[in-house]
Structure 1
Amino acid sequence: MILLSCFNLQGLSLLDLATARPAAGGIATDLQALLQFKAKITGDPHKIVESWNNSIPFCQWRGVTCCRKHRRVTKLDLKIPQEIGLLRRLEILDLTNNSISSEIPSNLSACTKLTVVDMTGNHLTGEIPTWLDLLSNLRVLGFYYNSLRGSIPPSLGNLSSLEKLGLSFNALSGIIPEALGQLTNLSFFSAQENAISGVVPTTMFNLSKIRLFDIGGNKIQGTLHSNLVISMPNVEFFSIESNQISGQIPISVSNFSNISVLQFHNNSFSGNVPSLEKLDKLFNLELGINHLGDGREGDLNFLCTLLNKTKLTFLHVGNNNFGGELPECISNFSSTLVGLVMSTNKIWGRIPNGIGNLINLEVLGVYQNQLSGPIPFEIGSLQKLTIFYAYGNFLSETIPHSIGNLTELTELSLDYNNLQGNIPSSLGNCQNLLLMSLSHNNLSGSIPSQVLGLSSMSILLDLSSNDLAGELPVTVGYMKNLGEFHVSQNRLSGLIPNNLGSCVSLEKLFLNDNLFEGPLPSSLSSLKGLEALDVSDNNLSGAIPDFLVSFSALKYLNLSFNDFEGVIPSEGVFKNASATFVEGNSKLCGGIPELHLSRCNTKTSSNTSHKLKIVIIVVTLGVALVFTCLLILWFTKKKERKLTTASVENSILRLSYQSIQRATDGFAMENLVGTGCFGSVYKRILEENGTVIAVKVLNLLNRGASRSFLTECEALKNIRHRNLVKILTAISSVDYKGNDFKALVYEFMENGSLDDWLHPSVNTNEQEMMRNLSFFQRVDVAVDVAHALEYLHHHCETSIIHCDLKPSNILLDNEMIGHIGDFGLAKILFADRLDHYANQSSSLGLRGTIGYAPPGKYMHFSSNFIIILYLLLCI
């Protein structure tokens, strides 16, 4: 019969493979092993292995599965026949670690002498049958690692001889039956990693012979009261982790004198932790991810009851509400301690110097607390430490150079503290580091070349938001396997080293907010896996490299606020305006329209015919003559037209953050009328007087926003003109969260910007798409702009250069009268500077959007005439 031969496939196959393995190996090995396996079968009434011959490849034999690539045997899948029920004297049925995928055969109920049924590690389906209570002699029932579903049948409570019940890692649901509390001989109960719900019957806590009790990883609810009596004097492993149980940890847990593993983590327990003084055999204690503690002194007193626990290896109390000072007693924990996690609590005080006594510690997690003071020098004694996380505290002073003794360290995170001084070069001794984050501290000095020379670094190196200076060491090229590199918001200078191109595994590279200069090195073309690149707010120059177009994985590119020049590409990441940022580069042109860059000038080729040149000159002079005549006529008509202004109060409005926040309905999106580089503009009517206003709220997180606010206030405080947008008031306050708040309040322009009329957005409604400016209206707006520029350049107490004049900054009131707005980039020239403007203009440089040139840049044309010609002919 094949029955018993098939029931222990693992044992048979290992034995047969050991005796049948030829020297050649490979596919021939698998074939010979299967043939010898077949040879040992004494009977095959169901002809299961009849196809096992050379007529077809062995990967097509019945019950044999091979991998696709190497065509090697990976699985033998032989079903359990119903005839197994004929084995009336069978006592032990061990089918562990096979690939049986059928339901539990019903005929098995006839095998009443069975004492052990273990089908662990298969693919059993269906439900646990209720007839199992017919096997009254059962002592062991194991269904670990299968695909059983349904509820645990209450009939199992009738198996009075049952000692071990293993149901873990299935898809069981329902509740734990009350009847299981009748299994007084049960010493092993495991139902972890299912979908069991409901509450734990209290009778289960009174099974006095229990040594292992594990219901972790389910959906069990209910409350454990502190006075709940758990009568399990022999329990060694007790786990109710990863459920939804609340209440306090019962005081009776203190009597678990034989306990080695105690797991309460990832529930909703609250209150204090009872004394653990009697738990001398405790090996693993996990209380993390609960609501334990009251956030005050005394919460951690239970830790000191763990002294002299010579077997304690892992302690996890993180993600709770523990408060109080970090107790010195942790220095006296057993030297056997391997893991200590106390993160995400409200613990204050210093890391004790005695931490160096825990010489076998491999994991130390104290992050996201309120710890202060220095990192003790004794940390260097923990030479087995592999993970050290202390970020999100108030640690200060310098990083001790003894940290270089931690040569086994793989992950180091000290970010978001108040650490000062230099990065110790001794970190170069940590040749196993995969991740290091020192960001958001006050570290200074240069970056040690030894740190950037760690070839082991493969996950993350983050040194951002410090005060690091100097050049980026060329040893950066040794980190060939690094995934993320952050050095943003420092004072690093010089050229970006060519060696950075050797870091071919980089996916994220952030060099922004530094003082880097020169071009982007061509070696960066090797970083083909880049997903994010930010080099904004530096002094980089030159053309944008073409290789960026070919980076197919690139989803974020920020080149803004540098000195790049030339044509910007329109393919690759550059065709996605939401992923590409290039503002603040006045010499760039071209690109997709959504980037709002000027068109690139094309030079006339040297072989252009003389005749074509004459035609161009004649046409240009003709247009200029016609324009001049029309301009004279329009000036005459303009004098006769009565100008009106919007009905806005002349008195200065006194507004606060609260009134603006209330007027805009909490800065609601429906009141948003536009956004810019430094903020957002909202329309609203003031409740006090019904005035229609436009509120420009500055986004102070954007670089230059505060400077823009001050510049605009300075520019507008002493100027008044009918063709300048009138500022009603300025607000400098704080919001409800205590953050700085700055806003400018203007007279509202009913007809929006000139850009809206010339280039209506695809998102505007049909009525707005149909509107258009006639030629005479354009001349009218151009004259209005010319009047405003004449006033700014020649009739102010101090001359003002707008520096960002473009259609989007020319606003139209309800009578289509043009007004110039947005003076955030304006330049104020004093008299002595005007006298020597030609000498100092180069130091000022061109600012704002290409298309506007301040007075003095051209000798033969007035700036007013250039602007009018731009508005009429170029847009």
Structure 2
Amino acid sequence: MSFLIFLLSFASLTLAVRVSLSSETDKIALLSLKDKLTNGDPHALPSWNHSLHFCQWEGVTCCRHCKRVSSLQLQNQYWGGTLSPSLENLTFLRMINLTNIYLHGEIPREVGHLKRLQILDLTQNNLHGQIPLEIINCSSLQVIILLYNNLSGKVPSWFGSMKQLTQLVLGANGFVGSIPSSLGNLSSLEKLSLAYNHLEGPITPSLGRLSNLKFLFLGVNNLSGQVPPPLYNLSNLRFLSLTKNQLVGTVLSNIPTAFPYLEAFQGGMNRFTGTLPSSMFNLSELYEFDISGNGFHGPISPAIGSLHKLQSFGAGHNRFGSGRADDLNFLSSLQNCTQLKRLGLDSNYLGGILTDLIGNLSSNLVMLYMGSNQISGRIPDGIGKLINLQLLGMENNFLEGTIPYSIGKLKNLVWLTLGRNKLFGNIPLVIGNLTMLSVVGLESNKFEGSIPFTLANCTKMEKFYVNNNSLSGNIPIQTFGYQQGLIELYLFSNSFTGSIPSDLGNLNHLSILYLQENKLSGEIPIELSGCSALSKLMLERNSFHGSIPSFLGSLLSLEILDLSHNNFSNTIPHELMNLTLLSTLNLSFNHLSGEVPVGGVFKNITAISLTGNKHLCGGIPQLNLPPCPVLPLQKKHKRSIKKRVILAIALGGILITFVTFISIYLLKKKAKKLSIKSLALQYGYVKVSYGELHQATNGFSSSNLVGTGNFGTVYRGDLVHFERPVAVKVLNLQRRGASKSFVAECKALGKIKHRNLLSILTCCSSVDYEGNDFKAIVFEFMSNGSLETLLHTNTEDSEFTNLSLNLMQRVNIALDVAFALDYLHNDSWEAVIHCDIKPSNVLLDDDMVAHLGDFGLARFIHDTTSHSSSNQASSSVVKGTIGYIPPEYGAGSSVSREGDMYSYGILLLEMITGKKPTDSMFGEGLSLHIFCNMAIPKRISEIVDSRLLFPWPIEEKEKRRATRQPKMEENLSEECVASFARIGVACSQEIPNERMSIKDVITELYAIKQKLSC
């Protein structure tokens, strides 16, 4: 008995020792894992210390009996470390969830030693390389989620042997090749995501064997061929995404019977053809249906009304309809779809007449787009019932009649396009009720009467098109002058009379003013000199008279000026030579006389037209004009040549001696500074002295200090020459490159003018009171400071307390900077590369309009057409600001438009996250670009600047996902933020030619703005 007791005691002791040793193994493995995960950060995971048992550490769960680690869950941290191979020693692990902790490096092959592992979730990290083969040894693994990483190579075919898998999520990586047929062996699989990769070839038919599959995501690849027939065996499918591939065939004919529980079908931007079968509308759970951008044809069945849960129906850019009267019959049945928010039918062949039943569509409707069809009849009064509409597009149809007064009820409307129809009558006064309007397109109709004065209420107007109508009367005063944000005004080809309203001079953002082909008269009002951003001014074929005003020479943004076929007289003002951006000047068929200037645009024979002015003379020889007559000499000038020669010799000797002395003195000084006098002569600046600047800034007092830049310090001041405060940038000439920066900035800002560029008022190159060289540039003072200040200053302690930027303001600022870049890169006479785009160089005026400044590093590219690398400027000494410099500059590449786009992209990402690219969290493979790229779109709310205060709690969003409520119910702001961040990511791609163009940026930002303007 004693021996038996001894044996039992010994066995218990041995077991205790083994448990103790195993626990110690887990602890050591965890501590090694921590060191790698957190990059050795001593402040990370503070609970992982020796005073607590490791089963009590954050994110660690242990078995109740064996006290071994069974679960490791750490999410939403910013460590940016790697996965340690020591993970293999946690042999009791059943779950690994390390999502959104910014891991880099490869997945360690030691994971394959975890025989008990059931869930592996490494979503939203920066892992790269291939998926290790050793994972095949994890015989208990059921869920693999590697979404949003940078994994590469082919999708492993050996996944097909892991028949216990229920979820395989590999989307948003860099996988190539084809879909392996072996995946068809995963009989337990419920979710398969391969979307957003680079897969090609056909969809493997073997996927049709996945009888338990509910979610299949194959969108945004380069898959081709037809959807294989076996795929229609997946009767349990809920969500099918095939968007943006090269797929062909008649996919819709099989979907209704194949997928009876389908909730969402995304098939847009493929090459599908065929008709829309009525049976499609038996899918009672369907809430999203997108087949836009394909080749579908035929009618749309009224059976669509049976889709009671439908929220989004996108069928644009197909071939639906035949131009017949019954093409729109299905609209009446859509009134049963009470949750409908978006209806896109544009660019088809739909005919027929809109009936008043359109007003019975869902009151939730925010977008109704029916443009570019063959729709006829009148716009029904019932349109006024759709009170939540933000976009109404019916342009390019055969609509006739008048605009119904009920349209005045659509007070959320931002975008109204009815152009290129057969509408007539007056533009109704109730249009002034639509105070949110930004874009109005009524062009190419038959409207009569005058422009309604109530448009003055539409103060958010940016683009107004009523050209090619039969409008008459005077252009109303105190109407457009209230629309401070107006950019484009198209009034041409009407019968307007009277003069140009002087209040148009209030529009300092106006870029295009088209008034040609009317019956306007009078003189051009001097108030138009206030339209400093004007790039195109078209006044031809009117009855204007008087002299061509010299102030037109101060509109330095002008690119096209057409004053032809009027009654202008007198001489051509020489000030027009100042318009360095002017590419087209048409003064033909007027009554001009006198000498034609020979500088500026007048040197280019292909840019000017002077035909039909009989009394012009001089100019460049190519004009073939007669020489101008020489005025007769006055009697007092008829002195003898001999006396003149003697006097000239005497004076000449004195002058030569004086000039020689001065020349020697100047050569000894070796003065290299830029003369303020020459700048003033060249650009028309008001001359200012050091003493005036000293007095204006209270002796450059610290109380007047605004900020510091790369090459100098900025002070607020008040100069007698200017009504408003100014900003004085004093160059630090001890800093290498400061003098060159001064010349570059004066040159750049002297040549380019735009509403979103910081305007230079004057400059000073002199000496201070101690005889030291002094250089300064004077700008407009921006009362709301820099974007840098608003993004990163604690608003509670700042003078800008009330200026915590909301999302709309950030979008507007991004658009302003984009407009400036578009002008610099594409619309100036010489393309300008800014080279230092960052928040501190974006200044905000009283109206929160952004102005891009600091051109000290700017470079000119001497081409106006090509964007190719062959025309890029040399940049051997290009600097910039760390975090915003594109990677190719560091490798010695020349400066380029694409380089500016990279910096702009980082700027956007900083605006949306509130984080600088040099934040301490970035490093070891993690950057602001990667940080945002991994969050788009589903985790965008976790990285966004908290001051935006989005009204979508994460818990509520997850709850909606859990109950499978439609995606379209998510807050619009979240969608817009994701779109904003996506633009920033697209602009800041590592490879220059993969970056988004500035034109596309403006289009995308403008779309976001429209969504927010409700």
User: TM-score, length-normalised on structure 1?
Assistant: 0.60
Secondary structure of the residue aligned to 2:580 is coil
1:215-226 to 2 correspondences below 5 Å: 215-224=242-251
Offset at 1:577?
Answer: 2.6
Pair 1:480 & 2:469 matched: no
Higher alpha-carbon deviation: 520-529 or 401-410: 520-529
1:107 maps onto 2:143 in alignment: no
One-letter amino acid of the counterpart of residue 173, structure 2: N
Within the alignment, does 1:204 sit opposite 2:231 as a pair? yes
Per the alignment, residue 980 of structure 2 pairs with none
Counterpart pick for 1:427 among 434, 449, 455: 455
* CA offset digits 1:281-316 (Å, max 9, x no partner): 110111111111111111111111111321011111
Q: Contact (CA 8 Å) 2:465, 2:490: kept in 1 or not?
A: yes
Of 277, 282, 285, the residue aligned with 1:250 is 277
Whole-Å Cα distance in 2 between the matches of residues 287 and 40 of structure 1?
A: 46
Partner of 1:380: 408
AA in 1 matched with 2:566: N
2: CA distance, partners of 1:307 / 1:124: 47
User: What residue ranges of structure 1 are gaps of 5+ in the alignment?
Assistant: 20-35, 47-73, 613-875
CA displacement at 1:394 relative to structure 2: 0.5
Does 2:160 align with 1:160?
Answer: no
Moved more, 159-168 or 84-93: 84-93
How many residue pairs end up in the alignment? 568
2:346 counterpart of 1:325: no
Distance 1:592 1:244, change over 3 A: farther
Aligned to 1:129: 156
- Cα deviation for residue 6 of structure 1 reads 9.5
Aligned partner of 2:316 among 280, 283, 288: 288
2:475 is the counterpart of 1:447: yes
**CA distance 1:399–1:181, shift in 2 (3 Å):** same
Structure 2: tracts of 5 or more residues without a match = 1-28, 49-76, 88-100, 642-1014
CA contact (8 A) 2:37 2:81 kept: no
- In the alignment, the residues of structure 2 paired with residue 150 and residue 376 of structure 1 have an alpha-carbon distance, to the nearest angstrom, of 56
Q: 2:325 aligns with which of 297, 309, 313?
A: 297
With over 3 angstroms needed to count, the CA separation of the structure-2 counterparts of 1:79 and 1:405, relative to structure 1, is same
| SS of corresponding position for 2:424 | strand
Determine what percentage of the aligned residue pairs are the same residue: 40
Determine the structure 1 residue equivalent to 2:384.
356
Query: 2-side partners of 1:590 and 1:518: how far apart?
Result: 22
Higher RCO, 1 or 2 (CA under 8 Å, sep at least 6)?
2
SS in structure 2 of the partner of residue 176 of structure 1: coil
Shift of 1:381: 0.6
Which residue of 1 is the match for residue 923 of structure 2?
none
Aligned to 2:419: 391
- Aligned partner of 1:182 in structure 2 is 209
Equivalent residue number for residue 221 of structure 2: 194
Name the aligned partner's letter for residue 185 of structure 1: N
Matched residues in 2 for 1:3 and 1:102: separation? 22
Match of 1:572 in 2: 600
Answering whether residue 535 of structure 2 is matched by residue 507 of structure 1, we say yes
CA distance in 1, matches of 2:256, 2:162: 33
Does residue 471 in structure 1 map to residue 496 in structure 2?
no
2:551 matched residue in structure 1: 523
Q: 1:3, 1:552 → 2: CA distance?
A: 66
Does the C-alpha gap of structure 1 residues 568 and 88 become closer, same or farther in structure 2, counting only changes over 3 Å? farther
> Alpha carbons of 1:286 and 1:567: their partners in 2 closer, same or farther (altered >3 Å)?
same
Instruction: Quote how far apart the aligned CAs of 1:540 are.
Output: 2.3
Deviation for aligned residue 1:39: 12
Secondary structure of residue in 2 paired with 1:234: coil
1:400 equivalent in alignment to 2:454:
no
User: CA offset at residue 145 of structure 1?
Assistant: 2.6
Q: Counterpart of 1:126 in structure 2: which amino acid?
A: G
SS for the counterpart of 1:549 is: helix
Quick one: which of 561, 565, 578 aligns to 2:589?
A: 561
> How many angstroms apart in 1 are the aligned matches of 2:535 and 2:43?
45
Provide the C-alpha distance between the structure 2 equivalents of 1:445 and 1:236, rounded to a whole number of angstroms. 55
Paired residue type of 2:185:
N
Residue 447 of structure 1 and its aligned partner are, at CA, apart by: 1.1
CA distance in structure 2 between the aligned counterparts of 1:388 and 1:464, rounded to whole angstroms: 19
Which residue pairs with 1:117 in the alignment? 144
Residues in 2 aligned to 1:435 and 1:204: alpha-carbon distance in whole angstroms: 48
- Partner secondary structure for residue 449 of structure 1: coil
Residues 80 and 104 in structure 2, CA contact (< 8 A), matched pair in contact too: no
Q: Does 1:149 align with 2:149?
A: no
Superposition TM-score, scaled by structure 2 size: 0.53
Tell me the equivalent position of 1:306: 334
Tell me how far apart the structure 2 counterparts of residues 503 and 13 of structure 1 sit (CA, whole Å).
59
2:612, 2:202 → 1: CA distance? Answer: 64
Secondary structure of the 2:226 match is coil
d(CA) in 2 for partners of 1:39, 1:413: 50
Shift of the alpha carbon at 1:191?
1.8
> Cα–Cα, structure 1 residues 505 and 107, in superposed 2: closer, same or farther, change >3 Å?
farther
Residues 595 and 128 of structure 1, relative CA distance in 2, 3 Å threshold: farther
Letter in 2 for 1:129: P
The separation in 2 between residues aligned to 1:289 and 1:322, in whole angstroms, is: 11
Residue pair 1:115, 1:137 contacting (<8 A) in 2 also: yes
Question: Which amino acid in the other structure matches residue 168 of structure 1?
Answer: A
Deviation of 1:122 (Å): 2.5
1:479 maps to amino acid: L
The Cα shift of 1:496 comes to 1.3
- Tell me by how many angstroms 1:417 deviates: 0.4
The CA distance in 1 between the partners of 2:340 and 2:271, in whole Å, is: 27
Q: Which digits, 9 at most, give the CA deviation of each residue in 1:87-124, with x for residues without a partner?
A: 44333333323333433333333334333322322333
Question: For 1:644-683, what aligned pairs fall within 5 Å after superposition?
Answer: none
Superposed displacement of residue 608, structure 1: 6.9
CA distance in 1, matches of 2:619, 2:232: 72
Q: 1:6 to 1:145 in 2, by over 3 A?
A: farther
Deviation string 1:509-530 (CA, Å, 9 cap, x unpaired) is: 2222222222333433443222
- Residue by residue, what CA displacement relative to the aligned partner does 1:728-773 show, whole Å, maximum 9, x if unpaired? xxxxxxxxxxxxxxxxxxxxxxxxxxxxxxxxxxxxxxxxxxxxxx
Q: Secondary structure at the match of 2:464?
A: strand
- Cα offsets for 1:158-215 (capped at 9, x unmatched): 2222222222222222111111122222111122222211111233234222221111
The C-alpha deviation readout for 1:390-421, integer Å capped at 9, x for no partner, is 00110011011011000111111010000111
Q: 1:408 is matched by which residue type in structure 2?
A: M
Report the counterpart of residue 85 of structure 1 in structure 2: 112
1:279 aligns with 2:312: no
Instruction: Name the residue aligned to 1:459.
Output: 487
Distance 1:323 1:120, change over 3 A: same
Do the aligned partners of residues 3 and 152 (structure 1) sit closer, same or farther apart at CA in structure 2, a change above 3 Å counting?
A: farther
**SS of 2:527's equivalent?**
helix
Q: Given residue 255 of structure 1, which amino acid in structure 2 is its aligned partner? A: N
Residues 601 and 310 of structure 1: CA distance in aligned 2, closer, same or farther (over 3 Å): same
Q: How big is each residue's C-alpha offset from its partner over 1:21-73, in whole Å with a ceiling of 9 and x where there is no partner?
A: xxxxxxxxxxxxxxx97799997989xxxxxxxxxxxxxxxxxxxxxxxxxxx
Cα distance in 2 between the residues matched to 1:468 and 1:9? 71
The change in CA–CA distance for 1:226 and 1:327 in structure 2 (over 3 A counts) is farther
Mapped contact 1:227–1:251 kept (Cα < 8 A): no
Distance across 1 between alignment mates of 2:415 and 2:351:
24
Q: Are the counterparts in 2 of residues 433 and 454 from structure 1 also a CA contact under 8 Å?
A: no
1:170 corresponds in structure 2 to: 197
Q: CA 1:543/1:282 → structure 2, altered by over 3 Å: closer, same or farther?
A: same
Q: Is the 8 A contact 1:164 1:186 kept in 2?
A: yes
- Counterpart position of 1:94: 121
Q: How far apart, in 2, do the equivalents of 1:269 and 1:457 lie? A: 41
Q: Does 1:343 align with 2:371?
A: yes
Indicate conservation of the 8 Å contact 1:226/1:251, yes or no: no
532 and 37 in structure 1: CA distance in 2 versus 1, 3 angstrom threshold: closer
Bigger helix share: 2
- Of structures 1 and 2, the larger Rg is shown by 1
Distance 1:552 1:80, change over 3 A: farther
Match of 2:393 in 1: 365
